[in-house]
Every structure is written in structure tokens, then in C-alpha cells.
Amino acid sequence: MKYRYDVAISFSDAQKDIAVGIHVALEKMKIESYYYLYRQEENIGIDLKSNLRKLYEEYAKLAIIIFSKDYSKGNFTRLELSAVLNRLKLEPSYLILIVCKGAKIPKSLSKLTYIEWNSDPLAIAKIVKKRLQTKPSVKSSDIKVFPNVITIGRNKHESFLADHRIDPITRQLIRVGDKVVVCEKCKLVFLKETWIVSLNGIHCNQNKTLKELPLKIDFPKIEIEKINRMMSSLNFELYTRNTGFFF
């Protein structure tokens, strides 16, 4: 996936001097950064809130948050933080968190390692450069920031609901209104939270997902035979345990 920016910088106006210092240091290293005060013309005539969410969820490869005591007070910074947290569920190495003196880290960021701001933008730029050079765990051609999410409808997915399908990991029954993700390769249906949190967006060694629930899943004959053998073996084991009859 080709990103518009190498890194996007999220900060409150009170920390714009810190942000511009980091932006300049990144530019010197030929790293394309989004610093909104230098990109205002790009936002003319568009929905700013929608664009900011897409910026942090899709357009930037990495994000920097300059967290200060003023950060949580801004409407736009809160929106940016929400988008960053969504992205972090799929890409744990996406964020570089900088904390200013006197700032109290919120619970949503409390488990993350952070950098205490020490007035050295060049050091931050070097960290960004190193992070950008780190190879992803999957091929870049396979990277998909967000899975296709399907909301289960009472009428639209009536036959699916009639099968009383459960999440393969949590064993939780999938109900009307649940949001699910379908692995493109094996066609298994997972609850969205399972796909993002438990599977980290990867199943069958890939992260591609279907846009709609499959009407029919055709398992290869060899898989059916394997399942039948497993079930026969399991049933026999249960029989011997229950009857106490052993060979």
C-alpha cells in the first residue's frame, strides 16, 4: 500500500513550536510529514473531520502524537487520538508517542512506551526514519489497514443466523447487529473484535477479507474426509470414557 505521507503529526496549538521543529527535522531527512499549518490548502472545501480521520487511519504510514496537558482539551486532537487508537489495533508499531512535561497520560495510552520531550527534534526524526525502515511482517502488497466489516442483519443474513454460527475463537454466538469479518482464504467468520485484537488482522497467513458473507462454503473433499475421521475418533473416545470399556 502506498501512503500519502510517511508520518502525520498530532498536537495541540500550544505545542506547535515543538511540532514545527520535528517537521523541519523530518524534512531534512527527506521524510514526508503532515504538519497541518503547512497543509491548510489541502483542506479547503472538504469535510475536515472526515479528512483528519482518514489521515490517521489510512493516509499516513506512521503517526506522532505530542501529548501535553492541553492535548485532550481540543476537539480535533481528540478526534485524531480516536483515529490513531483504531489504527493501533491493527498496527502496534504505528505510533510514536512524545509526552511533554506535566502531562498526565490517559488510560488509552498508558500501556505504551513513550518518549519524554527533551527539546531534540532531530532525535525524534531519527526514530521515525528507523521505524520507516522496519520491514512489515506481511508483504506490502498485502497490507490492508482496515478489514471489510459486515453488520449482521435480521433479514439480509437470515440463513446465516439460522445456522447459529459462533466465533471460532471466543465461541460466542453471532447475533443480529454484530459486526463480523470474513477471512478471504478460508471463509471463516469472526467477530470484528476477535479479528482485530486476537488475530491482529491476520488469518491463514494473510489479511484479506470479504466484503459480503459467502452464500456457500465449499470445503475440499480431503478436508471433509479429515473432519469425518476426527469426529469418528472423538466419538469413539467419548464412548469408551462413558462406558468404561477399553481394549
pTM: 0.55
Strands ordered across the beta sheet of 115-116: 33-34, 5-10, 60-67, 95-99, 115-116
Specify the CATH number of the domain 5-142: 3.40.50.10140
Please measure the distance between the N-terminal and C-terminal CA atoms of the chain and give it in whole angstroms. Answer: 59
pLDDT at 246 over 80: no
Q: What is the pLDDT of residue 143?
A: 42
Lowest mean pLDDT among 15-24, 139-148, 174-183: 139-148
Indicate whether 119 pLDDT > 80.
yes
Residue 221 has pLDDT above 70, yes or no: no
Higher per-residue pLDDT: 225 or 151: 151
The pLDDT tens digits of the residues spanning 34-59 come to: 998 777 677 666 777 888 888 998 89
d(CA 55, CA 84): 9
Given a cut of 70, whether residue 25 has pLDDT beyond it is: yes
Q: Which of 97, 194, 90, 185 is nearest to 136 (CA)?
A: 90
Residue 179: what residue type? K
Please name the helix (run of DSSP H) or strand (run of DSSP E) that holds residue 34, with its range, or none. Answer: strand 33-34
CA count, 13 A, side-chain hemisphere, 128: 30
pLDDT > 60? residue 93: yes
